[in-house]
Each structure stands twice: as structure tokens, then as C-alpha cells.
Amino acid sequence: MSTPSAKQVSFNKLKNNAQNFSFILPAVLIFATFYIYPFYDIFKLSMHSWNGINLHKTPVGLDNFFELMTDGIWWKSVWNATYITLIALTFQNLLAFGLALACDREIRMKNFYRVVFFIPPVLSEVVVGLVWKWILNPSVQDGQHIGLLNYFFDKIGLHHLVHNWLSDPNTALTCIAVVHSWKGFGWGFIMLLAGLQTIDRQLYEAAKVDGAGFWKTLTNVTIPMMMPVILVVIILTVLGSMQAFVLVLSMVGQGLVYHTEVPVTRILSAMTGTNRFGYACSMGVVFGALLIMVSLAFKFVSDKVKQA
Amino acid sequence: MLNKYQIKGMFKSTFLHIILMSVAATCLFPLFWMLRCSLMTNQTVFVDKSFFPHELHFMNYFQAWTEGNFGIYFINSIIYTTSVVVGIVVVSSLAAYAFSRLEFPGKKVFFYMFVLAMMIPLPGSFVALFDLMNIIGLVNTRIGYILCMINVGLSMSILLLKTFFDKMPPDLEDAARIDGCGRLRIWWNVALPLARPALAVIIIFNSLNVWNEYILAQLLLSDKNLMPLQRGLMVFQGSHSVDYPLLMAGLTIAAIPIIAVYLFMQKHIIKGLSSGAVVG
């Protein structure tokens, strides 16, 4: 038997590599088509004026971006998303943390709470939005409030709280933010509870022996130990809330012009409303860059925390 | 006799239970209200506010299923969810297995490409995605929506499975190789069965994700016969005179399967989430 020639060896190696590579081929193909190409295309399109139908796309350089910089409605929509995010960060996460602390002990029905708190997060935003829209319904029929919340306020005598919740520009966005927090706090709760349960009980014992009360233990033991998990919850809250828009569509729709718009609904209406695809793409680029910057900033902060 | 500390402890735990219970009630009540309103008539739903109405109209569900088109939407949702999840499991486990066990040039580059992509948010590029789907003629087709959704779940599934394969001891695979099994058979007969816990997490999370997905369905599907439930619900509520009991029945039809899956699988879900949080 002769030893295989060098040519034969390299051919076998090539064949072997090709066979191995074929394992990732389907993933790479799907990914390249539906992820990388659009990613490349969006930069190109953002520098064109295009109505989405014509074959002709007019190159306009950076005009779309200049227009976007001075587009008041766009920045208002960015602020609206930030507002939702701020409410989610404080209200939703504090609630989640408080409830996780309450469940991180020998308490009865812990599993029941854990199961129930995670029901809103598994529901779709469409379902959540439409159910809450129905509860917040402002209409009156035969002297009776149709919406449950207004009916409730009316019955217990708090007439001044009866309100057009979703049609008043002053309350609509807050309602959306509160429903968003209602839907989202279960995520934070589960993650924070899991984190709390990894903390060594002996640390609490030691703190107790040293005479630390609830607050001292919380600020000196629990929160420092939980910092990595807290950071994960914060970044997921920020990224999720900035992109939340299905609730806006399902609760308010296009009804309240500009008062409840968020970046994603702006992108959608630039596309389907005014057929300005190039402009919509420039929004997509700016919004995407904004979110990536936020993630990178958090990555930086969490690396710093891990080092310390 | 109870001592001072026991009384204090009881007081504290009662207080905690009251808070936890009221939050739990807030979580469940809107769903109960949805269910209750789905069983009323178009006349009583506006005026009757009793918790348990006298007459229950189960016919609403039949009507929603047929006249409200929710039957078609429901079946579409089932089709999309199963095909996308099967697609993701096959494609991502093949890729993750290769990234973990097989050698080929450019392995690292390709892997980091998938990891980095998780940072790019979908709203950044869906205009271009729509453009692409238009060019290749996949707008308003089932296959177009399915392929896009497979792509959405791919990165996270590959990462999760690769981490799992990396931790798995290679002994069984080596034994299979000595017995003369090829790569593909080892992947299918040895690696996949061992990866069951990780596959469960992937299947559950992607099912939830596809069932609840809205935005791509709105962009890509305008034919009523192709729409999944979430899209159908928005179309239904956007019509001029909304039949609220039927809408509530439709919402219930969309919510029940997901709640059922969640209740059956909650151990996996909570485990998946918790490990994700702790790993960071």
C-alpha cells in the first residue's frame, strides 16, 4: 500500500472542511439574506429618495439625515420612548425588585406568585393592549361608563378621576407606559429572584451578627452582590422599552397625532403612510445606532463593575 | 403562647402576602375581565358590570371563529409557529454543533458574526427587509414570513446551543465515530438527544416569540387568509363597528394557548430565564 500523496491529503482536507462547513451553511445563507443584506441595504437606501414602488431611486446624499436632525416630530418620538423607558426603569424595576425581595425567603405560595407574575410577560402586546384599551374605554352609554376603570371611579364617588385616558394627550403616554410596566415587571422579577437566590445565606447571617438592619443589609450586602444581575435587567428594560411600539398601535393607534408616537411608529408611518422609504431608512439607521450606543455604554459600565 | 418575635413575624408575612396578593390580582384581573366580556352580548357588554353575568353566550366563540375569521388566523398561527420552530431547531443545532465540535476555516469569524448580530435591533433594518422581500417576491407569502422569523430566532438559539454543546462531554460522540457513524448521524442520533434540555428552552422561547409576533406580520402579510392571530386581531379591532364580545373572544383565543403552554412548561421557562440572568 502506498502512502497517500500530498495532493490526496490536501484534497481530503478540503473535502473535510467543506463537509464541516455545510453544517453552518443553511444558517449562514438565511442570515446573509435576511440580516446582512438588509443591514447593508439600509445604509444605501437612507441616502436615496424613494417611494418604495418606483424602480428609480434618487440619490440625495445625506439630505435625509439633515432633515431628520431638525425633524421635531422625530425627536418628540424619541423623547416619548425615553419617557416610557424612564417609567419602566423606575416603576417597573422597583416593583420587580421589591417583589423579588419579598419572595426571597421562606414564604408560602412562593411558586404561585412566581407563576402568576410571569403571565403578563407571556401574553402578546396586541392582547395586552386591546384588553387594557377596553378597560380604559372612555365612552358613556345610557348614563353608564362603558370602560371598567371609569365605571369604578364613578361608583366609588371619585368623579374627578373619570377621564378620557387614552384620548387626552396628557395621560395617553403615561397609560401606555404603565401598561408596558404591568406587562414587563414579571421578567425583572424572575431574573432578580434567581439572582437573589444565588447569594450565600451566610452573608446575611454575618450582617445580622454585626447588627445590620434591613436597609443596611440591603445596601451593603444585597445590592452589591446583585449588581451584575441588576445591570442585565436594566439593559434589557432599556432596549425593550425603547423599541416598544405595538402597545402604542393597539391602545391608541394613529389616533393621537404625534403625542404618543415612538421611533418605530414613525418609521412605520414614513414607510406606509407617506411612502418615504429613504427617509424611513435614515430613521432606522439613527435609531439603530442609538440603541447600539446604549448597549455599548452598558457593556462598558458592567465591565467596570465586574472589575471592581 | 407566641412570643414577641413570632407575632412580629406573622404580622410581617401577612403584610407581605397582602402586597403580593394584590399584585397577583392585578395580573389576573384583566384576563378574567376579557374572558367575562367574551361571553356577553353586544347589548349587555356596555351596561352590565356584574362580575358573573347571568347568561353566558358561548356562541360568541363560534361566531368569532367563523365570521370573525379567527379560525383562519388561529390555524395560520399554528402553521407559522410550528414551521418556524422546526426550522430554527434544525438550522441552529446544525450550526451550533459545527461551531462547537467541527473544524473549518473562518469558524470564529462566522460565530462572532452571529453573536454581534444580536446587538442590531430589528426596527433598525425592517424597511430594507421589506424592500428585499419585495424584490424576491416573498411579500404576502407564507414562506417569506417563515424564513424571516427563522432568521429572527437564529442567533440566540445558536449561542445557547453552542454553549450547551461545549459543556457536553464528547465521549459518546467519540464512541459513535469509532463505530463508523458520520457527522450527520452523530449530530442527529447522539448530540441532539443529549441536548434535549437546551432544545426545550429554544422551542419554548421561540414558540412564544412567533405566536406573539406582530410587526413582521403587519409588514409582510396583507392577505387576510395568510394573517396570524395578532395581525388578525388588529384588523378586527380596526373595523368601523367593533363587536366587543367577539373581539374579546378573539383575544381569548389568542391568549389561551400561550397561557396553557406556559403553565405546562413554566419550569423550563423559569430555568431558562434564570440561567440567562445569572450568566449575564
Full DSSP string of A111-145: HHHHHHHTHHHHS-HHHHHHHHHHHT---EETTEE
* Structural domains counted in chain B: 1
Residue B64: inside a domain = yes
Q: Which helix (H) or strand (E) holds B168?
A: none
Residue B36: inside a domain = no
The CA distance from A240 to A31, in Å, is 23
* Residues B39-58, mean pLDDT to the nearest whole number: 80
Percentage of chain B surpassing pLDDT 70? 96
Q: Does A189 touch chain B (CB under 8 A)?
A: no
- Interface with A, mutate which of B14, B19, B27 (most A CBs under 10 A): B27
A299: nearest CA in chain B?
B280
Residue B9: inside a domain = no
User: Domains, chain A, ranges and CATH?
Assistant: 82-261 (1.10.3720.10)
Residue B13: inside a domain = no
Beta strands in B52-128 (DSSP E): none
Confidence of residue A257 (pLDDT cuts 50, 70, 90): low
From the CA of B1, how many Å to the nearest CA of chain A?
22
C-beta atoms of A20 and B183 within 8 A: yes
Neighbour-count burial of A270, counting CB atoms closer than 10 A to its CB (0-12 exposed, 13-18 middle, 19+ buried): buried
Q: How many residues does chain A have?
A: 308
Residue B37: inside a domain = no
Dihedral angle over CA of A179, A184, A189, A194, nearest 10: 170
pLDDT of residue B41: 84
Going from the C-alpha of B100 to that of each of A158, B115, B161, B203, the distances in angstroms are: 63, 14, 9, 20
For residue A45, give the nearest of B127, B147, B151 by CB distance: B127
Q: Quote the cell numbers at residue A246.
A: 405595538
* Residues A48-54, mean pLDDT to the nearest whole number: 81
ipTM at complex level: 0.89
CA A106 to chain centre: 32
Domain hosting B215: range is: 59-279
Phi, psi of B57 (to 5 degrees): -100, 85
The CA distance from B244 to A164, in Å, is 19
Q: Above 90 in pLDDT, residue B141?
A: yes
* Residues B56-79, mean pLDDT to the nearest whole number: 90
- Report pLDDT digits (tens) over B193-249: 988 888 988 898 899 999 999 999 998 998 989 999 999 999 888 876 788 889 999
The CA distance from A238 to A254, in Å, is 24
Direct distance between the N- and C-terminal alpha carbons of chain B, in angstroms, rounded to an integer: 48
- Report pLDDT digits (tens) over A195-227: 898 888 888 888 888 888 888 888 888 998 898
Residue B45: inside a domain = no
Find out whether B99 and B162 touch, Cβ atoms under 8 Å. Answer: yes
Q: How many residues does chain B have?
A: 280
Q: Above 50 in pLDDT, residue B277?
A: no
- Can you list the alpha helix ranges (DSSP code H) found in B168-243? 171-178, 183-186, 192-194, 196-212, 215-220, 229-238
Lowest mean pLDDT among A77-81, B191-195, B271-275: B271-275
CATH code at B81?
1.10.3720.10
Report the SS3 class of residue A48: strand
pLDDT of residue B121: 77
Q: Does A124 touch chain B (CB under 8 A)?
A: yes
Residue B157: inside a domain = yes
Name B232's Cβ contacts closer than 8 Å, sequence gap at least 6. B69, B70, B72, B73, B76, B224, B250
The per-residue pLDDT of chain A, averaged, comes to 87
- Report pLDDT digits (tens) over A182-199: 999 999 998 899 889 888
Which amino acid belongs to residue A52? G
Q: Does A37 touch chain B (CB under 8 A)?
A: yes
The per-residue pLDDT of chain B, averaged, comes to 87
Q: Above 80 in pLDDT, residue A52?
A: no
C-beta atoms of B214 and A125 within 8 A: yes
Phi, psi of A48 (to 5 degrees): -130, 155
- Report pLDDT digits (tens) over A86-100: 999 999 999 999 999
Find out whether B17 and A110 touch, Cβ atoms under 8 Å. Answer: no
Name B9's Cβ contacts closer than 8 Å, sequence gap at least 6. none
Return the number of CB contacts < 8 Å for A and B.
261
The CA distance from A258 to A280, in Å, is 16
pLDDT of residue B44: 79
Confidence of residue B169 (pLDDT cuts 50, 70, 90): confident
The CA distance from A44 to A95, in Å, is 44
